[in-house]
Structure 1
Amino acid sequence: MQSLLQQLKNLPKTGVITYEGESCAVSELIQKAAEIKHQNPQLYQGDIALGYTHLAEFVTALIAFDGWCSAIYLCPPNVAIPQGELIKWPLSGDAAMDDATKKQPVFSSSEVVQTKWYMATSGTTGEPKWYSHSFESLTASSKYSEQLQSMCWALLYQPFRFAGLQVVLQALLSGANLVDAAENEPLVQIALLKQNKTTAISATPSLWRQLLMTGQLGDLKLQYITLGGEIADQSVLDNLSRLFPKAKLRHIYASTETGVGLVVSDGLAGFPLTWLESLALPVALKVSDTQHLMVKPNFKVCQTLSAQTDPQGFVDTLDIVEIKEHRVLFIGRATGTINVGGNKVYPEKVEQVLMQSANVSQAKVYPKKSALMGELVVADITVLNADDPQQLKTQILINCKNQLQRFEIPTKINIVNNIAHDPSGKLNRKLNRKQQHD
């Protein structure tokens, strides 16, 4: 078992991190991480709650604490830490001087602690929950090659989320450069990515649509394109494929709870039906009687998932799928349905139909309270051209009637200037009372 620090020391070359107008070599962060360990022996085998300040300090802490601390909690802002005895990093003056918390460490490169990494879910459809991973499970899909070493990755996710951490670890362990553009508007992001000659981007389909809307994404020379965090519909895959025909395009199915599951690189939405019987994947797959996708990773999953795990070890992802021809397609989340007169409507399914219109750039479907039906389906859309809004809505509704059941068709379509996303890059599906009743 090797720690992150040991693996980085074995690389022939490490990259450069760019953040907030500053740049620093990863080799410098490795040195700072070693200093942290020697200056803070009380942290050995402790549990650390890692608060986020900026990317360089965050990466330095990851390098220092993996293999050194028993647990690392990657703490998003405003999310409660589940334990009260954690040491908070960066240390306060009192914590740094508290002799009662100090332990006598063994300063040996071979004395590696098996660290648990804890991450909170984004809380898109409910309260955030904490799940643990090992360094091995987090880096199961990370690759190294001379070609990957020459990449410059863009970080468009928050690094303390699962998807963002995957980008950070891939860049670190391949010796590539990394540019933090997560907290910027799309046009500013594009400018940063151009300036740093970015060649690889991982983002949610929602973020990709925002970048496409700038009209400037094609100015980049992308070699690697990854989509994750949401359902990758065929329209966004096709748009990216047309814009970057030579790039490696893939969409990833993963979750904070179970880790990386599937990597699809054939340019099609969903995944091949044959994967349900494959023994060559990092996870075993099956579909339950209720159409839930079940996954069985090849590593031990977090104990928190025991209630979602069947006797064969398959974890219920709570993602609804359907089998169409030779493809398994994602429909939506079991926890996010709209109840229309007792019928379940999956917002993601309706959104995919809405975005089949070439003029619709983004869509968000949500419920509206109804005294008669319980809830009704409402949609917000952003459009590229709204010269005749009523005609556009009519065309969209005709397409909906051809593909959706009557109760799934939006009762109202609103053309809006923008659609909100949560900090993880996904559509913000938390509704306020005004949205539910308007």
Structure 2
Amino acid sequence: MSLLQRLEQANYQTTAIAAECECSYSELINNAQQIRHQYPDLKHQTVAVRFKDLSNFCAQILAFDGWCSKLYLLSDKALLPDDITLFPDGVSSIASQPEHRELLSKEITTHWFMATSGTTDIPKWIGHSLDSLTRAVKINVNNAALRWALCYQPTRFAGLQVVLQSLLTGATLVDCTNGDAAQRFTEMQRGAVNAISATPSLWRQLLMTNEMLSLPLKRITLGGEIAGQRLLDNLAALFPQAKLLHIYASTEAGVGFAVSDKKAGFPLNWLKQGHNGLSFKVDSRQHLWLKPPQKPDINLADRIDVEGFLDSEDLVEVTEDRVHFLGRANGLINVGGSKVQPEQVEQVLLQHPAVLQARVYAKSNSVLGQLVAADLQVAPNHDVKTLKLQLIQHCMASLARYQLPTQLNFVDNIATNASGKLSRKREDKE
């Protein structure tokens, strides 16, 4: 059943999009039907859409799922595949194949394509089905009462998850994808948000506004980056009535899993028992492998083993009864032949009460190849020299010598990319 048919069947009588001009579910469905009537030749074609505004984007994905053979969601940096040409109204398409013409009256299965974030590499196109994208959606009365702040770009995997979760449960979406943390918070207030899904980096920025308690949050989710224990503890203390989840998912692996016990990492017994239809294993390199219910995209064949497990390329560490994330395998800093995981150093720095945000990256060195450097946002009214010494001592208690930051930079702001994640591409020269 297509996305549009699901909403038609649900018949939600509520607000779908909360913006300057609100859009109800019935209006959204009508807009999607008008798109199909306006562009009948798009049926069975390959179509690509860019995000301009939330109401039009939602109407487009409703119109094209079950209508077009392939649907590409284009982020700002993603390049169009070679066989797609520009089409009016932010929509792109290619001509359908002749053999499809006799099937125009039938609903079809649409293959959705999204580009990976390209945080540490060139973005790649990965395909999914609507069923695999909505595997974790839970429909109940409580979910219908949620007003979600959309903080991720909806053409990214995490953003699309929020959009689909909201649409299929009859909830309300509020566009909070633009601006700094203060501007996003203003949109949250304006839209009476009670549910937020964002990266840990963005959550830290939002908490720095010191106004988050004015939002009556019922649902808090974190994804896209490592959710450290200090941040989880802070959110749990500030919003004790909210359901707190940190979610593991990726464009490559699809819908992964959610951890609800308010602890960093995930339970060790999941490696043996699996969880929510997902199987796990860790190899000798500390790579986490996942076996989802659906087959991964064929473009990932070089990362799939004979048992059907997909190499997530995330590094993990088993400690007692927990599996903790260390960071991406391709994001290592090479210090004289010793490998340093920048996320691991960040998590140690973030455990210090003065540190509000941290970004660790490589600094070129003619002798050792690379050294570890860090940009830090810290709480006001700290003596820089004293704090720097405290942080070095703090790191020495948890890190090996080669992992220690050799340069600590105190900055006013640490920017995030379009996905809400810290950029991993920076390397300072000597």
Q: Is TM more than 0.5 here?
A: yes
1:388 paired residue among 380, 383, 386: 383
- Kindly provide the CA deviation profile for residues 344-386 of structure 1, in whole angstroms up to 9, marking residues without a partner as x: 0000000000000111100000011101100000000001124
C-alpha distance 85-189 of structure 1, shift in aligned 2 (>3 A): closer
C-alpha distance 417-99 of structure 1, shift in aligned 2 (>3 A): closer
Return the letter of the residue paired with 2:175: D
Contact map agreement 1:43 1:102 (CA 8 A) in 2:
no
- Kindly provide the CA deviation profile for residues 140-165 of structure 1, in whole angstroms up to 9, marking residues without a partner as x: 01111111111101000001000000
Match in the other structure for 1:11: 10
- Kindly provide the CA deviation profile for residues 226-279 of structure 1, in whole angstroms up to 9, marking residues without a partner as x: 000000010110110010011100100110011111110000000000000114
- Kindly provide the CA deviation profile for residues 371-406 of structure 1, in whole angstroms up to 9, marking residues without a partner as x: 110000000000112431111111111110010000
Q: 3-state SS of the aligned residue for 2:217?
A: coil
Q: Within the alignment, does 1:225 sit opposite 2:220 as a pair?
A: yes
Return the letter of the residue paired with 1:11: A
TM-score using structure 2 length: 0.96
Q: Within the alignment, does 1:140 sit opposite 2:139 as a pair?
A: no
Match in the other structure for 2:114: 119
Q: Distance in 1 between matches of 2:421 and 2:18?
A: 22
Q: How many residues align?
A: 430
Q: Distance in 1 between matches of 2:93 and 2:2?
A: 25
Return the letter of the residue paired with 1:188: Q
Q: 3-state SS of the aligned residue for 1:38?
A: helix
Match in the other structure for 1:173: 168
Contact map agreement 2:348 2:395 (CA 8 A) in 1:
yes
Contact map agreement 1:273 1:323 (CA 8 A) in 2:
yes
The offset of 1:88, in angstroms, is 3.6
Q: Distance in 1 between matches of 2:406 and 2:343?
A: 16
- Kindly provide the CA deviation profile for residues 200-239 of structure 1, in whole angstroms up to 9, marking residues without a partner as x: 1000000000000000011110000000000001011011
Match in the other structure for 1:190: 185
Match in the other structure for 2:409: 414
Q: Within the alignment, does 1:306 sit opposite 2:301 as a pair?
A: yes
Return the letter of the residue paired with 1:193: M
Deviates most, 368-377 or 71-80: 71-80
Q: 3-state SS of the aligned residue for 1:22?
A: coil
**Superposed, which structure 2 residues align to 1:36-435 within 5 Å?**
36-85=35-84, 88=87, 90=89, 108=105, 111-431=106-426, 435=427
Q: 3-state SS of the aligned residue for 2:12?
A: coil
Q: Distance in 1 between matches of 2:103 and 2:372?
A: 61
Q: Distance in 2 between matches of 1:107 and 1:181?
A: 38
Return the letter of the residue paired with 2:356: S
Return the letter of the residue paired with 2:218: Q
Return the letter of the residue paired with 2:166: A
- Kindly provide the CA deviation profile for residues 26-55 of structure 1, in whole angstroms up to 9, marking residues without a partner as x: 211211211221232211110001122211
Match in the other structure for 2:30: 31
Contact map agreement 2:44 2:96 (CA 8 A) in 1:
no
Return the letter of the residue paired with 1:195: R
Q: Distance in 1 between matches of 2:310 and 2:24?
A: 40
Q: Distance in 2 between matches of 1:139 and 1:322?
A: 29
Deviates most, 252-261 or 80-89: 80-89
- Kindly provide the CA deviation profile for residues 315-336 of structure 1, in whole angstroms up to 9, marking residues without a partner as x: 0011000000100000111100
Q: Distance in 2 between matches of 1:144 and 1:89?
A: 35
Match in the other structure for 1:437: 429
Contact map agreement 1:19 1:54 (CA 8 A) in 2:
no
Q: 3-state SS of the aligned residue for 2:313?
A: strand
Q: 3-state SS of the aligned residue for 2:360?
A: strand
C-alpha distance 99-162 of structure 1, shift in aligned 2 (>3 A): closer
Q: 3-state SS of the aligned residue for 1:339?
A: strand
The offset of 1:19, in angstroms, is 6.0
Contact map agreement 1:377 1:410 (CA 8 A) in 2:
yes
The offset of 1:101, in angstroms, is 9.3
Return the letter of the residue paired with 1:286: K
Contact map agreement 2:16 2:28 (CA 8 A) in 1:
no
Return the letter of the residue paired with 1:210: Q
Return the letter of the residue paired with 1:336: G
C-alpha distance 83-387 of structure 1, shift in aligned 2 (>3 A): same
Q: 3-state SS of the aligned residue for 2:289?
A: strand
Q: Distance in 2 between matches of 1:114 and 1:389?
A: 58
